[in-house]
């Protein structure tokens, strides 16, 4: 590694408009740091990130023959790349740029201008001390596997898969359940246009299944993820269907013949039953049944096999076992969606005590022509059409004590949709909705809600239900009408709960496998809430749909396409530029103890048996620095964050009194950390 002695440093103090300048006396910072003999140029400017600002840095590099640059500005996460590019344009190695974060870590969090100015000076001195020990670094290259993996086969995953496949890349679409389609396949109509959900979804499901570039794996789960952007290696468990996908014609003779018939159908929210061999719904893709081994009489007792007897093509295969597949792919799209919060915590609403208290998703199935009642809204208890239907919103949403603190976003609109649908089908019925706030931001959303009130006579009551008691065939509601300011007790025939939505089961485990972050509620976190909304914090992992937070269908589809566009942006690249800030082992100091190998989360370190020391796989290393901290003999250094640099920063912060700018830096008496020093 070339060692460049850095003697001519330029320091650039940014105002960030008033973001920094209002709290930090930038002129004083410029004055103070010039006492350092290595600082041959110091300047301030309103916005160094702007074109004029960057040009002034480039000009200064030329004019003062600078060999390193320190920018006192915002977080390096914001503009480090900007200033590194500017340095490259000026002819410097980009790693001779250090950022002193005097915005997020200083001006934004302090009020006292004098103290903040002093802190800015100290942070600048630390950055100067660090850059003095910088070495030039050169990024490497890695290949890109031209294949995408999409996890989750709901509308989000289907859309992302189709968009990536249309761009000409191979896509592997993985779905946990026996069919793709997700939650949207369960819906009756969609707001605010009242399109039939199946009519717009099923063509997409078929397209995804038949697309020449899409390989579909249903009844399959992700078991393990290894690798990094461009070169992921994902292990899938394709569960045994016990039905041969190639031979099966989808005739349905098997489930007609199956004697085990009283199993609650998950797709129908348990409102109707299925057999032990089943397809979840009529339009399932693939239209191939699956045997529920836990319920199947053959698997439980070895006696039965009726399905195999009736199957003409001989597709039923009891000996089939789970298959383990390894998929090499360049990017991963997460589209794992959501599930409904269980109303268990809300005993006062009697969900478990009364058959006539149902969730909104159950209502979708009742309203659906393909549902358990053929589209007739019949009370579960007596199979009669309810004369009055009552909805209650925010069950578990906006609830910091028993539910979720967030707004589930879609409930106001789907409840209005349900109300309109019921009024359309049964004009004589009475529909009332208990709400806290009606939230309808979205194109044509408020018009839709007002139509429910004005054209359909749906009664909205600001208030909540405190208690539900079943008497005879009626539900007695103890509620409150907030606008009247009084108790409102009423009876109803059917109560529908708009329960909160939460991340799908297993989202957290998947996030851990992908090494990416989830928020406090378990939804996947985006890399930046405004500027990188569909990328996760892990390079090459993109987010699509409700796995990222509650979303309606148009928003999900938009995000799915955005994630696909970002994914294609990676897949089209011939090579990826790798981060040169990775671990480096000083082989003369390494004694091969392998402590570092054990702490590495990316499996980038391994022991070279012949030489008796650890070696770094540069392609796998993500530069986390865990190994550098763990190494007992100080043999591992993180390039760009070497021990010498970190120690110099700490010394600059701790050992130099702010009033004595020229105090001599204290040398380490025991420089056991493998860093070079030019003190």
Partner 1 sequence: MTTVMIERCMTCGRCSAACPVAFAMDVPPHFWAVRVRQGEGESLARAEAIWSCLACFCCAARCPRGVRPVELAEQARSVTLRKENHTATFADETVLQIISKKSGKAIPQQLIVAAMRKKRA
Contact positions toward partner 1, by CB under 8 A? 348, 394, 398-403, 436-437, 462-467, 478-480, 482, 485-487, 489
Helix or strand or coil: residue 329? strand
Residue 254: CB minimum distance to partner 1, A: 47
CA-nearest of 346, 331, 330 to 397 is 346
Reported in sequence order, the residue ranges of 537-574 that DSSP labels E, i.e. its strands, are: 541-543
Q: How far apart are CA 120 and CA 505, in angstroms?
A: 46
Residue 493: CB minimum distance to partner 1, A: 20
Q: Which is nearer to partner 1, 347 or 457 (by Cβ)?
A: 347
Residue 449: CB minimum distance to partner 1, A: 19
Residue 64: CB minimum distance to partner 1, A: 55
Tally of helices (H runs) and strands (E runs) in the chain: 17, 36
Residue 420: CB minimum distance to partner 1, A: 24
Q: What is the DSSP letter of 675?
A: -
Q: Which is nearer to partner 1, 80 or 502 (by Cβ)?
A: 502
Q: How far apart are CA 534 and CA 515, in angstroms?
A: 16
Q: What is the DSSP letter of 197?
A: H
Q: Which is nearer to partner 1, 315 or 411 (by Cβ)?
A: 411
Residue 319: CB minimum distance to partner 1, A: 52
Residue 402: CB minimum distance to partner 1, A: 7
What count of other Cβ atoms lies within 10 Å of the Cβ of residue 233?
A: 14
* Sign of the dihedral defined by the CA atoms of residues 24, 26, 32, 34, in that order: positive
* Sign of the dihedral defined by the CA atoms of residues 544, 546, 550, 551, in that order: positive
Q: How far apart are CA 570 and CA 597, in angstroms?
A: 29
CA-nearest of 594, 602, 677 to 636 is 594
Q: How far apart are CA 566 and CA 191, in angstroms?
A: 28
Q: Using an 8 Å Cβ cutoff, are 423 and 417 in contact?
A: no
Q: Using an 8 Å Cβ cutoff, are 182 and 150 in contact?
A: no
Q: Which is nearer to partner 1, 396 or 626 (by Cβ)?
A: 396
Q: Which is nearer to partner 1, 197 or 433 (by Cβ)?
A: 433
Residue 437 CA: distances (Å) to CA of 161, 407, 411, 463: 37, 10, 11, 9
Residue 484: CB minimum distance to partner 1, A: 10
Q: Using an 8 Å Cβ cutoff, are 440 and 583 in contact?
A: no
Residue 350: CB minimum distance to partner 1, A: 13
Q: What is the DSSP letter of 106?
A: I
Q: Using an 8 Å Cβ cutoff, are 544 and 334 in contact?
A: yes
Q: Using an 8 Å Cβ cutoff, are 98 and 70 in contact?
A: yes
Q: Using an 8 Å Cβ cutoff, are 552 and 409 in contact?
A: yes
Residue 500: CB minimum distance to partner 1, A: 10
Q: How far apart are CA 446 and CA 440, in angstroms?
A: 5
Residue 235: CB minimum distance to partner 1, A: 42
Q: Which is nearer to partner 1, 218 or 397 (by Cβ)?
A: 397
Residue 488: CB minimum distance to partner 1, A: 8
Q: Which is nearer to partner 1, 353 or 437 (by Cβ)?
A: 437
Helix or strand or coil: residue 346? coil
Residue 470: CB minimum distance to partner 1, A: 17
Q: How far apart are CA 529 and CA 531, in angstroms?
A: 6
Q: How far apart are CA 376 and CA 197, in angstroms?
A: 17
Q: Which is nearer to partner 1, 482 or 595 (by Cβ)?
A: 482
Q: Cα 226 to the chain's mean position, in Å? A: 18
Residue 487: CB minimum distance to partner 1, A: 4
DSSP 400-458: SSSS-SS--SSHHHHHHHHHHHHHHH-TT-EEEEEES-----STTHHHHHHHHHHTT-P
Q: Which is nearer to partner 1, 99 or 394 (by Cβ)?
A: 394
For residue 1, with 0-12 CB atoms within 10 Å meaning exposed, 13-18 middle and 19 or more buried, which class applies?
exposed
Helix or strand or coil: residue 220? strand
Q: Which is nearer to partner 1, 422 or 480 (by Cβ)?
A: 480
Residue 475: CB minimum distance to partner 1, A: 14
Q: Which is nearer to partner 1, 400 or 662 (by Cβ)?
A: 400
Q: How far apart are CA 526 and CA 8, in angstroms?
A: 40
Helix or strand or coil: residue 386? coil
Q: Which is nearer to partner 1, 64 or 487 (by Cβ)?
A: 487
For residue 247, with 0-12 CB atoms within 10 Å meaning exposed, 13-18 middle and 19 or more buried, which class applies?
middle
Q: Using an 8 Å Cβ cutoff, are 572 and 527 in contact?
A: no
Helix or strand or coil: residue 240? coil
Residue 406: CB minimum distance to partner 1, A: 12
Q: Which is nearer to partner 1, 371 or 463 (by Cβ)?
A: 463
Q: How far apart are CA 219 and CA 176, in angstroms?
A: 5
Q: What is the DSSP letter of 19?
A: T
For strand 430-435 and strand 388-395, is the pairing parallel, antiparallel, or unpaired? parallel
Residue 460: CB minimum distance to partner 1, A: 13
């Amino acid at each position: 590694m070339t060692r460049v002695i850095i003697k001519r440093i330029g320091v650039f103090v940014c105002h960030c408009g008033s973001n920094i300048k209002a709290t930090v006396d930038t002129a004083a910072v410029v004055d103070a740091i010039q006492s350092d003999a290595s600082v041959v140029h110091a300047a301030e400017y309103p916005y160094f990130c702007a074109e004029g600002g960057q040009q002034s840095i480039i000009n200064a590099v030329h004019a003062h023959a600078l060999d390193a640059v320190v920018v006192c500005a915002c977080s390096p996460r914001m503009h480090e790349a900007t200033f590194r590019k500017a340095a490259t344009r000026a002819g410097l190695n980009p790693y001779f740029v250090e950022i002193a974060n005097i915005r997020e870590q200083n001006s934004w969090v302090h009020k006292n201008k004098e103290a903040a100015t002093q802190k800015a000076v100290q942070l600048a001195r630390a950055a100067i001390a660090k850059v003095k020990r910088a070495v030039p670094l050169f990024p490497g290259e890695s290949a890109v596997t031209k294949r995408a993996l999409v996890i989750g086969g709901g509308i989000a995953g289907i859309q992302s898969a189709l968009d990536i496949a249309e761009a000409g890349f191979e896509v592997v679409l993985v779905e946990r359940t026996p069919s793709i389609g997700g939650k949207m396949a369960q819906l009756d109509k969609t707001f605010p246009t009242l399109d039939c959900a199946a009519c717009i979804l099923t063509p997409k499901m078929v397209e995804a299944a038949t697309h020449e570039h899409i390989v579909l794996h249903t009844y399959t789960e992700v078991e393990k993820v290894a690798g990094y952007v461009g070169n992921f290696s994902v292990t899938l468990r394709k569960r045994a269907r016990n039905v041969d996908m190639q031979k099966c014609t989808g005739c349905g003779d098997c489930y007609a013949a199956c004697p085990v018939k009283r199993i609650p159908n998950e797709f129908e929210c348990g409102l109707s039953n299925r057999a032990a061999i089943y397809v979840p719904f009529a339009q399932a893709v693939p239209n191939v049944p699956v045997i529920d081994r836990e319920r199947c009489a053959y698997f439980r007792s070895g006696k039965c096999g009726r399905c195999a007897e009736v199957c003409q093509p001989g597709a039923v295969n009891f000996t089939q076992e789970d298959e383990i597949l390894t998929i090499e792919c360049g990017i991963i799209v997460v589209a794992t969606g959501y599930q409904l919060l269980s109303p268990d915590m809300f005993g006062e609403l009697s969900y478990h005590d009364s058959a006539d208290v149902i969730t909104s998703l159950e209502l979708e199935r009742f309203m659906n022509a393909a549902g358990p009642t053929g589209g007739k809204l019949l009370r579960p208890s007596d199979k009669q059409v309810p004369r009055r239907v009552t909805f209650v919103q925010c069950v578990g949403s906006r609830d910091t004590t028993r539910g979720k603190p967030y707004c589930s976003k879609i409930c106001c609109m789907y409840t209005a949709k349900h109300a309109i649908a019921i009024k359309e089908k049964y004009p004589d019925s009475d529909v009332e909705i208990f709400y806290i706030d009606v939230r309808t931001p979205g194109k044509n959303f408020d018009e839709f809600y007002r139509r429910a009130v004005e054209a359909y006579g749906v009664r909205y009551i600001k208030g909540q239900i405190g208690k539900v008691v079943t008497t005879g065939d009626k539900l007695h509601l103890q509620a409150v009408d907030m606008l009247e300011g009084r108790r409102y007790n009423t009876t109803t025939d059917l109560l529908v709960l708009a329960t909160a939505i939460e991340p799908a089961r297993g989202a957290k485990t998947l996030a851990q496998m992908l090494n990416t972050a989830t928020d406090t509620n378990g939804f996947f976190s985006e890399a930046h809430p405004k500027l990188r909304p569909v990328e996760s914090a892990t390079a090459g992992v993109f987010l699509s749909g409700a796995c990222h937070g509650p979303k309606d269908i148009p928003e999900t589809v938009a995000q799915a396409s955005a994630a696909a566009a970002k994914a294609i942006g990676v897949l089209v690249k011939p090579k990826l530029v790798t981060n040169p800030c990775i671990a480096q082992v000083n082989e003369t100091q390494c004694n091969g103890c392998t402590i570092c190998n054990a702490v590495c989360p990316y499996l980038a370190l391994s022991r070279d048996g012949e030489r008796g020391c650890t070696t770094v796989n540069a392609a796998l290393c993500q530069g986390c620095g865990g190994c550098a901290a763990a190494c007992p003999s100080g043999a591992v250094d993180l390039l760009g964050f070497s021990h010498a640099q970190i120690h110099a920063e700490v010394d600059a912060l701790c050992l130099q009194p702010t009033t004595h700018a020229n105090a001599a830096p204290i040398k380490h008496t025991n420089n056991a950390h493998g860093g070079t020093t030019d003190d």
